[in-house]
Structure 1
């Protein structure tokens, strides 16, 4: 009976929000990748150069995540949409272990759902871009691809921590994430595919059942997250800390995170 009660008291609304947000982000992102690079679609004729199309990919893919973070569901869950980011917040002491597990399950299910919806919508056009699977760029050694993924994840997460540890920068975190992640897609996609997110890589790989070099994205992004946590703690020197586990924190939404230093509704209010 106690186990059933504990199960009922888990934060299912937040887990569901992460699932839906990840699915939305993946669906939008895979749709713009397909539209820009799908065989037989018009963008390759309208914009022959690859670099501008990659920039469009980044702006819309990252923009959908930023847009979700300021939506009601994003304000509720914190809009991580990335198991590596949730892991980093947990390492920062901002998440309970059961919520970390719930978020990660929601994010992986959402990534697979988003990839499946994109396949249903785009069909052979999505297949023509290899299901939007993240893969090493042609001509780049795997060690270089691995380091690129570690560095980009590290830079993104460290930037998030810097913004979320400063009262004046806090509200601008989604804008920063949008612009920085878009730039990383623009510049980094030819090298590694710019995953930054293990769920983003596993979703389409599972859908296509294609696992070539996916170990890179299963290891590099968590390693980048771990490095970002360590470097932030060194920089902070105990004088600064992450104020919240949400990318866009507003006080009139309940907050399930630990050690929150900004106004918020209590979990059970």
Structure 2
């Protein structure tokens, strides 16, 4: 008789929330890229300054992730919507082994779904901006692009750790990530496209069927997450502990994570 005990340990509602949340992030976020930069749309004429359009794109892209975090989807799953973020929480002992796999698979499927919807809705305008792909900037060596992605992801994950380890700051995590990622997009997009997220990169690469240099966006963000874990442990020296693996923790939503130090409903 087949033992299905492992199947019962899976948390399908949370995986589904991650899938939908990531799909929303990729579709709406990359729609901002299309709207602000595709030729034939009005933004290039309305706002000729590319730097200002980059900042607006960053605010819209990261704002989508923050809205997902405070939505019912995010309150349930934690709104990681990024394999690097989930990896960081797992390395910190906040996720079960079966859940890290479920989250990462859901995030990649969500990103692919969001990218397919982007192509369907925007058509030639999406193609005009390479379907929102993250690509190395012209003139930058790959080692520099790789280092930029590692550094920016490390800063993002470390900032999340700092906020969710403070009872005073944790409720402001979505606002912090909104502003931080917006600034990163504004400053770093000319270098690497500011991916910070392997799923966000693979979705557009899949629908474009263009894989040149995409290995970089699969490897650099996880390295950044690992670096953030090391820095957090070094800086905190055991004095600070991550309270929750949710970016917006609400006590009456169930929580499937390990070692949660704030009020929550347990899974079951």
TM-score range, shorter chain: over 0.9
SS in 1 for 2:245: coil
- Structure 2 CA distance for aligned equivalents of residues 122 and 64 of structure 1: 18
SS in 1 for 2:254: coil
- Structure 1 CA distance for aligned equivalents of residues 42 and 60 of structure 2: 18
In the TM superposition, residue 4 of structure 1 has moved relative to its aligned partner by 3.1
Q: Residue 98 of structure 1 aligns with which residue?
A: 98
* Residues 2-42 of structure 1: per-residue CA shift (max 9 Å, x gap): 63353144100000000000000000011110011112111
Q: Residue 250 of structure 1 aligns with which residue?
A: 250
- The aligned runs of 1:70-109 (5 Å cut-off) are 70-109=70-109
Q: Residue 219 of structure 1 aligns with which residue?
A: 219
- Structure 1 CA distance for aligned equivalents of residues 198 and 153 of structure 2: 11
SS in 2 for 1:181: helix
Q: Residue 188 of structure 1 aligns with which residue?
A: 188
| 1:150 to 1:134, Cα distance in 2 relative to 1, 3 A | same
* Residues 82-106 of structure 1: per-residue CA shift (max 9 Å, x gap): 0111011000000001000000000
Q: Residue 112 of structure 1 aligns with which residue?
A: 112
* Residues 157-188 of structure 1: per-residue CA shift (max 9 Å, x gap): 10000001111001000000000000000111
SS in 1 for 2:223: helix
Return the TM-score normalized by structure 1. Answer: 0.98
Q: Residue 143 of structure 2 aligns with which residue?
A: 143
Unmatched tracts of structure 2, length 5 or more: none
- Structure 2 CA distance for aligned equivalents of residues 10 and 262 of structure 1: 23
Over the aligned positions, Cα root-mean-square deviation in angstroms equals 0.9
* Residues 22-73 of structure 1: per-residue CA shift (max 9 Å, x gap): 0000000111100111121111111111001101110010000000100111
Structure 1 position 38 matched with structure 2 position 26 = no
Q: How many equivalent pairs are there?
A: 268
- The aligned runs of 1:168-247 (5 Å cut-off) are 168-247=168-247
- Structure 1 CA distance for aligned equivalents of residues 55 and 133 of structure 2: 18
- Structure 2 CA distance for aligned equivalents of residues 141 and 69 of structure 1: 35
SS in 2 for 1:3: coil
Return the TM-score normalized by structure 2. Answer: 0.98
- Structure 1 CA distance for aligned equivalents of residues 2 and 248 of structure 2: 34
SS in 2 for 1:245: coil
- Structure 1 CA distance for aligned equivalents of residues 92 and 8 of structure 2: 26
SS in 2 for 1:205: helix
The 4+ residue runs of structure 1 with deviation greater than 2 A are 1-6
